[in-house]
Amino acid sequence: MNRDFLKKEEKSLIQAYSQLPISVAEGYECELITNDGERIIDFYGGHAVVPLGYGHKGYIDAVQTQMKKLLFQSNLLPLDIRANTASQLLSISPKNLKKVFFVNSGSEANENALKIACHYTKRKKILSISHAFHGRTAAAAAVTWGSESWYGFPSKPFEVEFIPRNNSDLARKMINSDIAAVIVEPIQGVAGAFDLSEEFLKSIRDACNDHSVLMIVDEVQSGMGRSGKYFAIQNFNIEPDIMTAAKSLGGGLPCSVIFINSLLDENIKKGELGSTFGGNPVICSAIEFVIQLIKEKNILKNVIEREKEIREFCITGPVNEIQGKGLLLGLHTELPAQEIQKKLLKKNILTGLSSDPNILRLLPPLVLRSEHIERLSEALSAI
């Protein structure tokens, strides 16, 4: 394998990531093609980003058509396509969420969600959940578990405490009228697709109601169909006050969105939120196409069926248990997950890791097929 690309990256790019030893040139559906011409099945999905896989003709046509029509316009001018995209997103989200605002990344969406919460409640403390990941910007990183090692800013923008995950009693005790909001991922992605229990999530919702605390649900990784529902929180029939989404949202183009309930909407004044690129027409055409295809091709059903197959056929070789939902799954491995990842990559299967050294994470395109799972199962059995 030609590894010159690694030297090239070292020369010019900040070495912030430990990279894998493959250089990808192209992608088709659920496969990546390397510069050496190897075809790799992608169970990583660019980190939960490509719901329709690579090179989807309809998606590319939709984006190109919009590019030709109107490449860009700021939020200063109303756009039909932005309003239509917003109402489509609201039509698939929890019913109490009434308005959206578009920004550019998961961190930025969470940053704004936390700002809205502090501003609305006039309170200075946020609760997060142990092992959570919410992003790298000042407020998002402040509510990220273990961010002290890389935080960098002189102080956090508000007080933060972490509720031990799945501890409903402590959740009820810690949520009180000093708290502005609780931020929670319904399935903890970076932590290895760790499922928070229904009881825990409901205890947070109830305690938030009791003390007028806002519940922010971070669906950056679990949203847009990945859990088998449009948003993972819909598996629990819980209505958050604020919800954020990103990653799969734009089918691969960078974007994110904040959803809020009507009470918060009434209190947001002009000038409080802003973004140059958020809600631009090309991104909106991409979001619209992703929603349309999920509906037309019944992709949520595919997610649930493929999850069943992974659960049936991939508890084999070093894998002894599976957690998570839909196509956001964590495979418990007896050997370190990094070793398994390397071995699978040698067999042309790309998988993800997590902050748990014994969890191999799967976050593939939502159009994954049975044949890909058969290949993964065979490769795992042989380890």
Ligand X SMILES: Cc1ncc(COP(=O)(O)O)c(C=O)c1O
Report the residue number, 219 or 307, with the smaller CB distance to ligand X. Answer: 219
Give the count of beta carbons closer than 10 Å to the beta carbon of residue 266. 11
CB of 122 to ligand X, least distance (A): 25
Looking at this protein, which amino acid is placed at residue 214?
Answer: L
Choose between 28 and 153: whose C-beta lies nearer to ligand X: 153
- Nearest residue (CB) to ligand X, 246 versus 260: 246
Q: Which residue is nearest to ligand X (CB)?
A: 106
Minimum distance, C-beta of residue 251 to ligand X, in the bound complex (Å): 14
Measured from the CB atom, the residue of 81 and 245 that comes closer to ligand X is 245
Residue with token string 């067999």 = 347
Give the shortest CB-326-to-ligand X separation in angstroms. Answer: 15
Of 130, 184, 125, 129, which is closest to residue 159 (Cα–Cα)?
A: 125
Compute the least distance from the CB of residue 274 to ligand X, in Å. Answer: 18
Q: Is the CA virtual torsion 367, 370, 374, 380 positive or negative? A: positive
Q: Which is nearer to ligand X, 126 or 373 (CB)?
A: 126
Closest CB to ligand X among 44 and 380? 44
Residue 132 contacts residue 144 (beta carbons within 8 Å): yes
> Cα(115)–Cα(313) distance, rounded to whole angstroms?
44
Nearer to ligand X by Cβ, of 135 and 157: the residue is 135
Q: What is the spatial distance between Cα 235 and Cα 29, in angstroms, rounded to a whole number?
A: 27
Where does this chain bind ligand X (CB under 6 A)? Answer: 105-107, 110, 133-135, 185, 189-190, 218, 220-221, 246
Minimum CB separation of residue 375 from ligand X in Å reads 26
Shortest distance, CB of residue 133 to ligand X, whole angstroms?
5
Identity at 84, one-letter amino acid code:
N
Cβ proximity to ligand X, 27 vs 135, nearer residue: 135
Kindly state the smallest distance separating residue 374's Cβ from ligand X, in Å: 28
Q: What are phi and psi of 361, to 5 degrees?
A: -105, 135
Q: Given the complex with ligand X, which of 156 and 343 has the nearer CB atom? A: 156
Least distance CB 143 / ligand X (angstroms): 10
List CB contacts of 337: < 8 A, sequence separation 6 or more: 331, 353, 354, 356, 357, 358, 359, 360
Do 226 and 326 touch, CB atoms closer than 8 A? yes
Within the chain, strands assigned E span: 24-28, 31-34, 39-42, 97-103, 125-129, 159-163, 179-184, 187-188, 194-195, 214-219, 242-245, 256-261, 319-325, 328-333, 349-350, 359-362
Q: Is the dihedral of CA 264, 269, 271, 276 positive or negative?
A: positive
Tell me how far, at minimum, the Cβ of 170 lies from ligand X, in Å. 22
Alpha helices in 211-328 (DSSP H): 262-267, 281-296, 299-313
